[in-house]
Amino acid sequence: MYSPDIIIEALLNGLLTGAIYALVALGLTLVYGVLHIINFAHGALLAAAMFAVLLINQLFGVDPYVQIPFLTVIFFAVGYGLQRLIIGPASHGRDENILLVTLGLSIVIENLLLAGFGSDTRSLNTDYSFNVYEVGPYLLSQVRVFGAAGALVTAALLWLFLSRSDTGKAIRAVAREKIGASLQGIDVAHVYAVTFGLGCACLAVAACLLLPTFYVNPKIGSAFVLVAFTIVVLGGMGSIVGAMLGGLIIGVVESMSGLFLGESLGQIGIFVIFILTLLLRPTGLFGAKA
């Protein structure tokens, strides 16, 4: 039997990881909530963002945290362009086409990364990578605490943006009623692209927060994307609160099942939750009607 200390430490670590998962899922749920499609390229775009952080760090020695504002803007533009120039026009407005186009994009991005960087797993070492905080009897990795804090701040900012700004209101209007919004003079194609851009911006932040602790390789996206899908489905497609809470739950589930079932079987816990949610309650914890 494990001592309670080990279990509590696993719980805390799960919560910290879960916050970053939540940030990745946030981008996905936002896009789903507005465009009503699942962006299969989400994971590949995260991998691209992580490689960007790594590359900038190696070429110019810029600390990952310092890159956040810069990379967020770049990835917003990337997302905006992708939706406006490729996904929108190529899919002729049909949902199943969007699904296929984003799948195609994910294959392209993933394999271009593979061609460009090779299949090696890399990591970025900072001089603070191994610092820890001592909280009572528990040791918490400093960069993980930073990561969780950054994820929560980003989520709060996004929520403020959506609820206060004009663009945020337009996004919510389109999510609720596309045709009605366009009759009010809202440019739906623009709102779609902005939403997609915001989803990608979340990924850029997540990549900067992840890299001091996490390794990266071209396939890393698929590891994250299934976790992100699970969170989004569990929290309810399109729900921001759901994504945050779902992220924390999944983080804890992963670290617990890793502790009790071992590394290789640990992932099963997540998939089982995923399938059960889809089958029994596809609307998730906070979702509106599917």
Partner 1 sequence: MSALRPYLPVIGLGVLLALAPLFVTSNVALNFLVFTLIIALAAQGWNLLGGFGGQFSFGHAAFFGVGAYVSAIWQMSLGLDAWTGFVAGTLAGAVTGLTIGFLAFRAGLRGSYFALVTLAFAEVFRVLSNSSEATGGAAGLLLPLRIGAQNLQFADRSTFLAFVVALTILVLLLVQWIRGSRFGAQLVALRENEEAARALGVDVFAVKLKAIGLSGAITAAAGVLYLQYFLFIDSNIVFGTWISVEVLLAAIVGGLGTVLGPVVGALALHGLGELVKHLAGDLPGIDLAVYGAVLVVAVAFLPGGLVGLFRRKPAPRQVRKTAPEGGRV
Binding footprint of partner 1 on the chain (CB under 8 A)? 37-38, 40, 86, 89-92, 95-97, 99-101, 103-112, 114-115, 118-119, 179, 182, 218, 222, 226, 229, 233, 264-265, 267-268, 271-272, 274-275, 278-280, 282, 290
Which residue, 147 or 247, has its beta carbon nearer to partner 1? 247
Which residue, 132 or 268, has its beta carbon nearer to partner 1? 268
Least distance from partner 1 to the Cβ atom of residue 224, Å:
13
196-223 burial, b at 16+ Cβ within 10 Å, e below that, comes to: bbbbbbbbbbbbbbbbbbbebbbebbee
Which residue, 126 or 283, has its beta carbon nearer to partner 1? 283
Which residue, 96 or 127, has its beta carbon nearer to partner 1? 96
211 within 8 A of 53, measured Cβ to Cβ: yes
Least distance from partner 1 to the Cβ atom of residue 279, Å:
5
N- to C-terminal Cα separation, the chain: 42
Residue 145 is encoded by which pair of tokens?
A: 């605490």
Least distance from partner 1 to the Cβ atom of residue 275, Å:
5
Q: Which residues is 140 bridged to in the sheet?
A: 133
Least distance from partner 1 to the Cβ atom of residue 237, Å:
8
Query: What's the distance, CA 160 to chain centroid?
Result: 18
Q: Which residues is 141 bridged to in the sheet?
A: 132
